[in-house]
């Protein structure tokens, strides 16, 4: 990964550090990079694209804002409809909302996400959309709390950066996002050991998270957050075939520009 990062960094440098609207269209269908909240570079930042599991950022935010994460949750039958990444929850099992959040953030588990969304009440996607509107996310509409491809579901790199910055205010989310491995268990004692889906953790110095995503419709998506010497860099990539290599190059360039 280090050698690939050097190659990508060289390619990026060849583009010269011009304005914040200087796009590198080969990186992703849409992307955005911010350093300490200030926009550095972006390509198609307002393009409306499927967000995949980056939608879970909003589900997590609503859970965190609701609080009471130690509340016991009984898993409903909705988990049987979950596809993609799952941990194998069964209807009737009981877990804390905190553990469902952990499985949603760390493992991006769709059954845990579904159970958490069901716990947070009926009409949950409407709640997601109201919160998106309140945050000023005009290019976002949710139709699924876990990020499955759904007609009419979309977001943008710019909107997801706004959402990520809101989620970053919660220490519990940051703790989970940077956890490489975590164990949770049902109240009846069934245990799960979960490995984080973020390949940057433990490999890229300063990596904190923040969320990964993939569906056939969305391609590879990533919200990457890293911090070095008090400088934080946030990168959002939508439909990025080589998201890990490209994220490393963008993060490296952003940190280098801060010196």
Domain with residue 184: its CATH number is 3.40.710.10
Splitting the chain (259 residues) into consecutive groups of 10 residues, what average pLDDT does each group show?
46 41 77 96 96 98 97 94 94 97 98 97 96 98 97 98 98 97 96 97 97 98 97 98 96 88
Residue of 144, 131, 21, 146 lying closest to 65 (CA atoms): 131
Helix (H) / strand (E) element for 25: namely none
Active site residues: 53, 56, 108
User: Alpha carbon 68 to chain centroid distance?
Assistant: 22
Three-class secondary structure of residue 166 per DSSP:
helix
> 12's torsion region: left (phi>0), alpha (psi -120 to 50) or beta?
alpha
Residue of 224, 215, 222, 225 lying closest to 238 (CA atoms): 222
What integer pLDDT is reported at residue 16 of this predicted model? 36
Which of 2-32 are b and which e, b meaning 16 or more Cβ less than 10 Å from the residue's Cβ? eeebeebbeebeeeeeeeeeeebeebbbbbb
Q: Where are the alpha helices (DSSP H) in the chain?
A: 2-14, 56-66, 97-106, 110-119, 124-135, 157-167, 171-177, 243-257
Task: Name the DSSP letter for residue 112.
Answer: H
Alpha-carbon gap, residue 96 to 74, rounded angstroms: 9
What integer pLDDT is reported at residue 208 of this predicted model? 97
**Integer CA distances (angstroms), 235 to 56, 61, 91, 211, 251, in order:** 17, 19, 37, 11, 7
Which range marks the domain in which residue 25 is found? 2-257
What integer pLDDT is reported at residue 46 of this predicted model? 97
Residues in the chain: 259
What integer pLDDT is reported at residue 26 of this predicted model? 82
What integer pLDDT is reported at residue 23 of this predicted model? 53
Structure tokens at 36: 């300490």
What integer pLDDT is reported at residue 203 of this predicted model? 97
Number of domains in the chain: 1
Do 228 and 255 contact (CB within 8 A), yes or no? yes
């Amino acid at each position: 990964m280090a050698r690939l990062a050097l190659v990508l960094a060289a390619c990026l440098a060849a583009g010269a550090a011009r304005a914040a609207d200087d796009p590198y269209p080969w990186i992703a269908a849409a992307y955005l990079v911010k350093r300490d909240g200030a926009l550095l570079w972006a390509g198609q930042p307002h393009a409306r694209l499927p967000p995949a599991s980056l939608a879970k950022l909003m589900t997590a935010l609503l859970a965190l804002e609701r609080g009471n994460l130690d509340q016991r949750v009984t898993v409903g039958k909705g988990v049987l409809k979950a596809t993609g990444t799952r941990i194998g929850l069964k209807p009737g099992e009981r877990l804390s909302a905190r553990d469902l959040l952990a499985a949603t953030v760390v493992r991006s588990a769709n059954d845990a996400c579904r159970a958490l969304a069901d716990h947070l009440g009926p009409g949950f996607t409407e709640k997601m959309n109201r919160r998106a509107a309140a945050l000023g996310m005009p290019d976002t509409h949710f139709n699924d709390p876990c990020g499955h491809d759904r007609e009419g579901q979309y977001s943008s790199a710019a909107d997801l950066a706004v959402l990520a910055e809101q989620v970053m205010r919660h220490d519990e989310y940051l703790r989970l996002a940077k956890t490489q491995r975590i164990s949770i268990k049902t109240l009846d004692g069934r245990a799960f050991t979960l490995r984080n889906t973020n390949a940057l953790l433990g490999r890229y110095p300063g990596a904190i998270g923040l969320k990964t995503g993939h569906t056939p419709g969305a391609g590879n998506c990533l919200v990457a957050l890293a911090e070095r010497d008090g400088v934080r860099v946030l990168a959002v990539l939508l439909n990025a075939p080589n998201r890990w290599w490209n994220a490393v190059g963008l993060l490296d360039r952003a940190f280098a520009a801060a010196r």
